[in-house]
Structure 1
Amino acid sequence: MTHPSSNYRGRFAPSPTGPLHFGSLVAALASFLDARKNNGIWLVRIEDIDPLREAPGASSDILRTLESHHLFWDETVRYQSQQSSAYESLIEQLKQSGHTYYCPCSRKTLNKNNGSHSSECNPQHPDALKPMAIRFHTKERTYTWNDLLLGQQSFLANKQTDDFVIKRKEGFYSYQLAVVCDDIDQRITHIVRGSDLLDSTPAQLALYDALATSPPLFGHIPIIVNNRGQKLSKQNLAPSINTPRISQNLQHALAALNHPLPPLLSGASAEEIIAWAIQNWSLNRVPKSLSIQGGWHTTSEL
């Protein structure tokens, strides 16, 4: 499926830590509908750069769930685990421009020192036998962006204390580095995602700035939380999507996005629901809040 009348390129990028749950379905649906409403391209990218957290079979399960809910992507699915050479090239580019340094500090040490690094940081010739992370050297400045949902946002970055890891001591690439590298390579123009990633935006903007590349537009929808105010996640034992009840899943997800299905479509097929949702989608109707309670959508009854 191609949409040549628009330059819009969006994406949904789940981590394969388990099956898709209701909160992830809401995020995927919002991203998909915004792309389709704008006659754009919608991509799916599997963020499998942390094998220690990956659940066996989760990637294929996520893709099957998206397809069963008629959320069809336009280009080949990208797996971040296959992008190591691109990430290394980007790190080298950042090194050459003076934006990185080696850091042996643990998170515990940094917390104890209020974010200040040890004298062992940034050695000119790092010891190959001593595990060190690679950090991005953050400038002291205010990063601002006009969020598609939340409006004007700003974040004051502090030198050193807001420096973030781009490659971990274990050799794994960080989320911030990988997501920016892939978004640039895949020419992503619009990112509609959960508000749990709002705090990641300044770090990503810092990378775009260092790479002299224009960032995409960001829009952060409310995350779905349970009745204890916790984000739905595998860590909080959020149940997986009940795939035999696809139409009901879509109906509940649209309701969470403030796009209630008209009574006339009660019991409609997934194809009919998606067609209605594309036609009636408006990002302006989505709640402009960081979270909404949706625990009632996640029970096994649905």
Structure 2
Amino acid sequence: MSLTTRFAPSPTGRLHKGHAFSALTAWTAAKAGGGRFILRMEDIDPTRCKPEYDAGILEDLDWLGLEWETPVRRQSEHLTDYATLIEVLDRRGLLYRCFRTRKDILDAIGDAPHGSPEAVRPGPHPVDEEAALLAEGKPFAWRLSLDRARAALGGRAWDALAFVEEGAGPAGERGLIRARPETAGDVVVARKDAGTAYHVAVTHDDALQGITHIIRGLDLFEATHIQVLIQALMGWPTPTYRHHHLITGPDGRRYAKRDGSVTLAHLRSQGVSPAALRAELGV
């Protein structure tokens, strides 16, 4: 099977040096492996994702000299796909409604002994309470219950959850790594007012598009644990992961979209060439 990888930015701002490094790393790996490189726009956040940023990403990647398959999948155009997945998970009894606000969760963590991580697994509301909250029209999030997921998979399959890391984790982890979805808690997979959440959309699309290698920044390493669980629950293949280091500035902090001085658009306006940037990034 040939290598298929992707670059999946969210169009919430212009690309910067860190994005360039990640996109080039994935694109170079695809070319070296005689495989495929896919561009996907993860634009499920309607309040932050803008058409002008989408267009800017295409401009920046073209300037870098990258080529990708078309048409580009834009997640905002496939919300019904993710809604169907949420329905499937709900019918299987793996989800529960959570009416607690972010502040409620944070307060619970603060009140728990030693800030116990169990506090991020609030669990379902009592039946009568949930019915009353639904009747009031209170907004809620769908959470994936780790307890129900473990029961659905069975203890042996749960213990066998793992992924192959070809890059390196925060502590230099490589090779076959046991997945620990419990580190993420009962994650939100959808909201009543905002549709699907990241973990659902990304795992769905990676399976749909036949992604064999996920090459991305180290900041997303921990997300792998819960994504492997979703893959197992849905019977989807688990790609090989290759997390890379993050590009940082002179102050040691990683680049952010709010830092306009390192956006590719700004660098281009200053006469920086793609070749010079690639030489600087070492990719």
Assess same fold via TM > 0.5.
Answer: yes
Work out the percentage of aligned pairs sharing the same amino acid. Answer: 29
1:169–1:236 distance in 2 versus 1, CA, 3 Å: farther
| Structure 1 gap ranges (5+) | 1-5, 260-302
Q: How does 1:23-38 map to 2 (within 5 A)?
A: 23-38=18-33
**In structure 1, distance between residues paired with 2:275 and 2:103:** 42
**Which letter does structure 2 place at the counterpart of 1:103?**
C
Alpha-carbon contact 2:26-2:215 (below 8 Å) kept: yes
In structure 2, the partner of 1:166 is: 189
1:154–1:249 distance in 2 versus 1, CA, 3 Å: farther
2:125 to 120, 126, 134: 120
- Per the normalisation by structure 1, the TM-score is 0.75
Match status 1:60 vs 2:85: no
RMSD: 2.5
1:213 to 225, 236, 239: 236
**In structure 1, distance between residues paired with 2:179 and 2:108:** 22
2:143 to 135, 144, 157: 135
**Which letter does structure 2 place at the counterpart of 1:144?**
A
In structure 2, the partner of 1:48 is: 43
Alpha-carbon contact 1:230-1:236 (below 8 Å) kept: no
| Structure 2 gap ranges (5+) | 110-118, 151-157, 169-173
Match status 1:80 vs 2:54: no
**In structure 2, distance between residues paired with 1:174 and 1:71:** 28
Query: What do the CA deviations read for 1:161-193 (whole angstroms, capped 9, x no partner)?
Result: 711011124223211111111111111111111
Q: Number of residue pairs matched?
A: 252
Alpha-carbon contact 1:225-1:231 (below 8 Å) kept: yes
Q: CA deviation at 1:133?
A: 0.4
Alpha-carbon contact 1:103-1:121 (below 8 Å) kept: no
**Which letter does structure 1 place at the counterpart of 2:257?**
K
**In structure 2, distance between residues paired with 1:36 and 1:246:** 27
**In structure 2, distance between residues paired with 1:25 and 1:253:** 9
Alpha-carbon contact 2:123-2:145 (below 8 Å) kept: no
1:74–1:35 distance in 2 versus 1, CA, 3 Å: same
In structure 1, the partner of 2:102 is: 107
In structure 2, the partner of 1:298 is: none
**In structure 2, distance between residues paired with 1:92 and 1:144:** 26
